[in-house]
A = this chain, B = another copy of it.
Amino acid sequence: MAAGVHLIALEGLPLIQPGDDLGGLLAASLERSGLALGDGDVLVLAQKIVSKAEGRLVRLADVAPSSEARRVAAEVRKDPALVELILSESRRIVRARPHVLIVEHRLGLIMANAGIDQSNVAEGYALLLPEDPDASAARLRARLAPEGGRVGVVVNDSFGRPWRRGTTGVAIGAAGLPALVDRRGEADLYGRPLQVTMIAFADEIAASASLLMGPAAEARPAVLLRGLDWRAAENPAAHLIRPESEDLFR
């Protein structure tokens, strides 16, 4: 780990529209700021701009809610069309209460509303998560760091937590870095095995970037972390999802 890390919000990105070449826009913004990506750099992108560029906007008037969606919508007091979208993006409902719908997203993420958001989206539309956020991160990394090396891309989103209030930034996609760092076998300062051995490196990166992005996550949707250090091999954000077999709280 380095002794200093700089978080820098990218300037001059336009509001992203469906079909935009996000990689090109990011490359131009980096170039304008004189920020060529190099060793130890991680670019964190708000899920919203990745989803928008990938055209994951859905017009709610075009969605026909099923009878199950209508039943759940009445229970959770949400728009039946929105609930239809949530259920179509999910494997199952984890908790349903008035104004709360927590699901297991098809990617395995346990999250509210399958990550579908209507903030910062035009009236009458909803924005789904990227089809495959790890693949999105990998594509953007290939575009922005064609030589590879220790350059990471993380797609972040804001998640609630069961026992703690408020949201924090979480990595839903990652490429070029170890999303999960496994330190089993390493020793503490006294030479004894470390007790905390798996570190959600990409989640800590995602949370750091959220500090700059702000709540709308669109005024500053791209944040560069400069000065990170890592040794472990690359693995995707999918590795951060706890398998159901290890899960005591599903």
A residues 1-29 touching B (CB-CB < 8 Å): 1-9, 11, 15
On chain A, the number of residues with a Cβ less than 8 Å from chain B's Cβ atoms is 76
Tell me if A119 and B194 are in contact (CB < 8 A). yes
Of the stretches A61-69, A132-140, A167-175, the one at the interface is: A167-175
**Once the chains are docked, how many angstroms separate the CA of A9 from the CA of B6?**
12
Given B3, B95, B120, B246, which contacts A188 in the complex, CB threshold below 8 Å? B120
In the docked arrangement, what's the CA distance between A246 and B98, Å?
Answer: 12
Per assembly, the copies of the chain total 2
Known: A164-B200, A188-B119, A190-B120. A212 touches B5 (CB 8 A): yes
A121 at the interface (CB under 8 A from B): yes
Residue pair B165, A241 in contact (C-beta under 8 Å): yes
Decide if B3 touches A5 in the complex (CB within 8 Å): no
A53 at the interface (CB under 8 A from B): no
Residues of A123-153 at the interface with B, using a CB-CB cut-off of 8 Å, are 123
Q: Could you list some 17 contacts between A and B, CB below 8 A?
A: A1-B212, A4-B8, A5-B211, A7-B208, A100-B248, A110-B163, A118-B195, A119-B192, A122-B190, A123-B190, A162-B249, A165-B239, A166-B200, A168-B168, A183-B215, A201-B211, A204-B208
